[in-house]
Structure 1
Amino acid sequence: MIKSKTFTAITIGAIAVIAAFLFFIINSTEPEAQREVATKRTAMLVDVQEVRRDNYNPLIEGLGTVEAAEDIILSPRVDGRVIEVTENFIPGGFVKKDEVLLRIDPADYENALVQRESAYTQARSEMDLELGRQNLARKEYNLLRQDIDEKNKSLVLRKPQLAATEANLKSAESMLNQAKLELERTYVRAPFDAQILSRNANVGSEIDTNTELARLVGVDEYWVTVSVPVARLDRITFPEKGQPGARVIIRNRTAWPAGTSRKGEVMRLIGALDAQTRLARVLVSVKDPLALNPETQGPQMLVGAIVQAEIAGRELENVFRIGRDFLREDDRLWLKRDGKLTITEAKVVFKDKDYAYISEGMEDGDLLVISNLAAVAEGIGLRTEAEAETQE
């Protein structure tokens, strides 16, 4: 019985040794190609993007406030009672340059004009009479020349009287012109093509030269004061020697339909930082801001609105541009080279909202890994979707 159990144990042990030997032989003689395929199938599946050097214009973003290039408080230049207000002189109304906005009662100014015309006519008559006297005085002088010394010559020729008469005539003429001017000023006109933002006078209002009749803004041009970091000013092109400033795209994501924008141009750098934010301020010009010209595309701009500005920066030459999300922690890059992960350090020359611009750390034709990896280690196997399909 004991011998039987011993024999059985020996038999089982021998079978186990033989099985292990056969497993080793089979694995050691498996074709190399099959092992490579198995290794590739265990590589992580990633998405990649081929990169190339090129020239790019980065975008410099900032918030800005819309203001009118022409913005005035209109006051009359003469006193009186308002007797007429025109139909366009209302908040939101549009008026052309020199268009009449309201009229002041002209009666007092018409009377003053009549008086000044009379005074001028009288001064003109006195001048004509004095010129006649001058002729007589000259004739008398020619007869008495030998008996008159130089000191009395001007008196004999009535030169003081002529000077006084000429002065009176000039004064009368000036006062007449002033009376005409004041009568014309009873018509209050728009100083430029404008939109009325507010009106503070109606028919019957008594107004004087200190009265604020209305607020007008020009419709030809608006300005946007954009705040940007000081460090980014060197990438903005300002107008110089007849060359235009940088292009600007204006957006208002809270008020305008999606995808709409207005175009502008950098005008000036304001020479002082914002006192609160310590940011630089760039002045941007937008023509026809209210889109009154049928050829102008885009929504109307409102004075006082907060908008987003995208300024086209100076061109970066011979750089790579990648999405900011693909620039990894500590400015590292994940590249797929020879089926393996290569980690390099990028030299970043600029970043904007969407992209990072890189001068070193990659080569033309490199495959940038744009997928997130669960485990990151130099040299781990990588494969793309196309490679996975080929292997299957």
Structure 2
Amino acid sequence: MSQPINENAARPERGRAGPLKTLFVSLMIVLVGAALIWLIFKTEPTATRKDAARETAMLVDVRTISRGDFTPTVEAMGQVMPAREVTLGSRVSGEVVSQAEVFSPGRQVDKDEELLRIDPADYEAALLQRRSELMQAQADLEIEQGQQTVARQEFELLGESIEAVNDALILRKPQLNQAKARVAIAEAAVKQAELNLARTRIRAPFPAQVLSREVTLGSQVSSGQSLGRLVGTDEYWVEATVPLSKLRWLSFDANPDAATAPVRLRHDTVWPSGQNREGRLTQLVGELDDNARMARVLITVEDPLALDQAAGQPPLILGSFVRAEIDGQTLEDVVRIERGLVRRNNTVWVMEDRKLAIRDLDIVFQDQEYAYIRNGLEDGDQLITNELASVVGGARLRLEGDNNE
């Protein structure tokens, strides 16, 4: 009798074969992926540094260099301040009875122009009194001189000799000296009265601009009281600060009449573009600026309000800050190039035989626009002025119009 086939007994064999197959397939996928990744990295192109020149010459712009003598510019910031400033004060007391129309803030006044007048009545009366006292003293002196003459005549008639001391008394010399002293005192009193009367007229001591006025018509003023403030209009100062490292490039002369370095003043935020005022470097102030710790220099500007110059010159305003461009000492036998052409680490790019050369520079001075070079460039050198994407010594170069090799 035949045994029945147990189908369930064969199923475990097929169940074990399934996971093995899946594992094998997964392992193959991993291995194939790893092989592909290895192949990709193995065959990836790599960047290599080449010292050799590029196959294609780079297009450049060049400028031929020449040596010469140049005047560098030292740039500084400065504040406008008055060269002459005075506070008017009264030397006598009284009521202001007259005031000039020009004695107002912002107006210009001429030298010796009358600005105010204090009531002169009391001082005129005092002058009359002092003059009468002088006349009385002079009369007393004349009388005493006559008495001295009479005394001398009487002494000569006596014909007697007396001691020198008694001689002075007999001839009334002490009385004569007293009379002369009273005349001198009276003359001094008259002069003082005349001065007091003249001081009732307040005048401008120099050509000036009125900055402030502290009294007006009818004000009562006392001796020493402030009446107003004036600044001279013939010249202003600009006090500028200069870095100590650039101070040696500036020239100062102890002689005030000597020619000094010219200065150009600019007020970029106020004056139109390209407009400036001319000045001259006057003096080095022997003290550092408290805030920036830089050297202080004075620049003199004549006619700061542009009163005598052609129309269009901007006036200087006291207290404003301006930019000063000071001409420095002349640099002899140097090369001047724009600062933007100085490359990293103080180098420049030069074309030599249609190839790129990198030169180290000995820079003597740099201002806002230029670099002045003592060594590194010579006459006839062709300086590359444009930017290059790749800078390699010995790279081939070409100019506009050359064949692209």
TM-score of the pair, normalised by structure 2: 0.84
Q: CA deviation at 1:42?
A: 2.1
Structure 1: 5+ residue stretches without partners? 1-38
Task: Find the counterpart in structure 1 of residue 352 from structure 2.
Answer: 337
Q: Residue 314 of structure 1: which of 318, 329, 337 is its match?
A: 329
C-alpha distance 354-294 of structure 1, shift in aligned 2 (>3 A) = closer
Take 2:161 and 2:357, find their aligned partners in 1: how far apart are those partners? 121
Task: Find the counterpart in structure 2 of residue 124 from structure 1.
Answer: 138
Give matches, 1:128-147, under 5 Å.
128-147=142-161
Task: Find the counterpart in structure 1 of residue 127 from structure 2.
Answer: 113
Figure out how many residues of one structure are paired with residues of the other and give that number: 352
Identify which range, 200-209 or 289-298, moves more after superposition. 289-298
Take 2:300 and 2:291, find their aligned partners in 1: how far apart are those partners? 24
Take 1:291 and 1:99, find their aligned partners in 2: how far apart are those partners? 21
Q: Residue 102 of structure 2: which of 72, 88, 91 is its match?
A: 88
Q: Residue 372 of structure 2: which of 357, 369, 378 is its match?
A: 357
Task: Find the counterpart in structure 1 of residue 197 from structure 2.
Answer: 183
Offset from partner CA, 1:260-289 (integer Å, 9 cap, x none): 111111111111111221101111111111
Percent identity of equivalent pairs: 45
Contact 1:262/1:297, CA 8 A, preserved across alignment: no
Contact 1:76/1:188, CA 8 A, preserved across alignment: yes
DSSP 3-state at the match of 2:401: helix
Take 2:311 and 2:300, find their aligned partners in 1: how far apart are those partners? 15
Offset from partner CA, 1:286-318 (integer Å, 9 cap, x none): 111111114587211111110100010111111
1:131 partner letter: Q
Task: Find the counterpart in structure 1 of residue 238 from structure 2.
Answer: 224
TM-score of the pair, normalised by structure 1: 0.86
Q: CA deviation at 1:63?
A: 0.4
Q: CA deviation at 1:119?
A: 0.7
- Which has the larger share of helix? 1
Identify which range, 133-142 or 144-153, moves more after superposition. 144-153
Q: Residue 76 of structure 1: which of 85, 90, 115 is its match?
A: 90
Task: Find the counterpart in structure 2 of residue 298 from structure 1.
Answer: 313
1:251 partner letter: R
C-alpha distance 243-118 of structure 1, shift in aligned 2 (>3 A) = closer
1:323 partner letter: E
Q: Residue 208 of structure 1: which of 219, 222, 226 is its match?
A: 222
C-alpha distance 249-61 of structure 1, shift in aligned 2 (>3 A) = same
Take 2:165 and 2:181, find their aligned partners in 1: how far apart are those partners? 23
Q: Residue 291 of structure 2: which of 276, 292, 305 is its match?
A: 276
Task: Find the counterpart in structure 1 of residue 71 from structure 2.
Answer: 57
Contact 1:238/1:245, CA 8 A, preserved across alignment: yes
Contact 1:239/1:266, CA 8 A, preserved across alignment: no
Task: Find the counterpart in structure 2 of residue 260 from structure 1.
Answer: 275
Contact 2:108/2:208, CA 8 A, preserved across alignment: yes
Larger Rg: 2
DSSP 3-state at the match of 2:226: coil
Take 1:158 and 1:268, find their aligned partners in 2: how far apart are those partners? 64
Task: Find the counterpart in structure 2 of residue 238 from structure 1.
Answer: 252
1:215 partner letter: R
C-alpha distance 211-343 of structure 1, shift in aligned 2 (>3 A) = same
Q: Residue 399 of structure 2: which of 369, 379, 384 is its match?
A: 384
